[in-house]
Chain A
């Protein structure tokens, strides 16, 4: 029976709806609550009809339905006046019984040409639904598209590393000797930018202040740059600043790696040779 056909207390409906809306309930949920309130209010006011409704529901139950509708209605009529029960028994069945197909255990095949859709897994109250308003967008399946791409990238990298590692040996110098300082002595390459800075600044600035500033500055990037756009055209300042910083670090590292020789003095790598080890 649809909402329009159901007997209900429209006044209770309006009252509940407004109360729910005033309480700030979601419009959809408020309407649902108001409807149920309206139907219940009507049934409370008309117990005869409520009993009839219960009897009708019972008579629609599978076992009793076909055999003896009147007999099925009788026990429900116990509390209610007899006349009503008879009236119900005589009333036509409003909804025919529908059988669901037996479970087959087979995996259902998606229909050809049917749009891809999500299946409903469970019935949950509307309050329990977190509504995400997002377009499904242009998406592809992770398997096989993304996973194969990742696998190939991994294989290429691994193959390259195997070849490189088979040909070029990692350095191993003579045993450590705390009394013999090599000239030049350099930090690992990723710190050579900082070592280069030591030439220009006090160690506290080059070794503590600047690295701390860079790390904290990097971590703060998303909280400083509040520009919501990701289009390169809208981000000229951010991109310029990051590129400058990145190039600054790269150039310092390259200078420290290849252009510094004995005594950490300037050398031209093509003239005096390279003083750099990985």
Chain B
């Protein structure tokens, strides 16, 4: 009886159509200079990087991976945030604070809900920290110097957006911690020159933190601010490449 050969998956047309030449998953990948370059170049995520980087950039004590980890945290926050959106309604009208009830349901009844919420909250705090530290690292290595001046400005905008995302998310649980932290934080806007009332009204959708504020900040948190942030992030990454890759060496 003829022995039936199992089809070799990695030689199939389907496999080859998915993994472009140079992919480490493609049959015939060789550890050559050419295939190493193709592995980076032919991958949608990895070609954020150039095919080669300066050797000193690999040193952990140069970057501390802070920029990359900030981006990873942003991705993690997006994923856990999408999960939480399935179970959360930004409503807090008189007679039933749906937002708060949903929070309790997430904590007690939703499968992995508590873990996802914890990851989201701790990740958000950590991202503020990592973006701030990333800025400090960039300063100390002098990485904002020509030709990277503009990318530093983009980075400052990204820090501001990160704070905005974290702060808008802070209100969403609609517990005592949330509304009073936001009340204190936004009270400062009431002191802005000339437009104090308008600024306050724009931020809160009223005179005080109210269900209107909740809806407003929810939309900012899940859609508006991430949308703006992704645009600036794209420019930030693109400019790293265009400005000659990682800065240095010192």
Report the stretch among A22-30, A52-60, A181-189 that lies at the interface. A181-189
| A154 part of interface (Cβ distance < 8 Å) | yes
Taking CB atoms, residues of chain B closer than 8 Å to A228 are 145-146
Instruction: Report how many A-B pairs have Cβ atoms within 8 Å.
Output: 212
Give the residue name and chain of the A residue nearest to B68 (CB): A150
List residues of chain A with CB within 8 A of the CB of B180. 181-182, 185
Does chain B have a CB within 8 A of A194?
Answer: yes
In the complex, what residues of B have CB within 8 A of residue A219's CB? 152-153, 156-157
Which stretch in B7-15, B121-129, B217-225 binds the other chain? B121-129
Q: B179 and A222: CB pair below 8 A?
A: no
Secondary structure call for the B interface: helix
B52 at the interface (CB under 8 A from A): yes
A5 to B107, CA, bound (A): 88
Given that A188-B170, A191-B185 are contacting pairs, would A147 and B176 also be in contact in the complex, using a CB cutoff of 8 Å?
A: no
- Write out the residue numbers on chain B whose beta carbons fall within 8 Å of the beta carbon of A176: 92, 97, 100, 174-176, 178-179
Contact A208–B149 (Cβ < 8 Å): no
Name the B residues within 8 Å of A154 (CB-CB).
68-69, 72
Q: Are the CB atoms of A149 and B58 closer together than 8 Å?
A: yes
Q: What is the size category of the interface that chain B forms with chain A? A: 35 or more
Residues in chain A near residue B121, CB distance under 8 A: 170, 278
Contact B52 A139 (CB under 8 A): yes
Is B229 in contact with chain A by the CB < 8 A criterion? no
Of residues 34 through 89 on chain B, the ones whose CB sits less than 8 Å from some CB of chain A are 34, 36-37, 39-40, 46, 49-58, 60, 65, 68-69, 72-73, 76
A-B contact pairs, 13 of them (CB 8 A): A110-B32, A140-B58, A143-B36, A157-B73, A166-B115, A170-B120, A173-B175, A175-B100, A180-B176, A190-B163, A215-B156, A221-B144, A232-B140
A-binding residues in B (CB < 8 A) = 24, 32-34, 36-37, 39-40, 46, 49-58, 60, 65, 68-69, 72-73, 76, 92, 97, 100, 103-104, 107, 114-115, 117-123, 125-126, 128, 135-136, 139-146, 148-149, 152-153, 156-157, 159-160, 163, 166-167, 170, 173-181, 183-185, 187-193, 208-210, 244, 247-248, 250
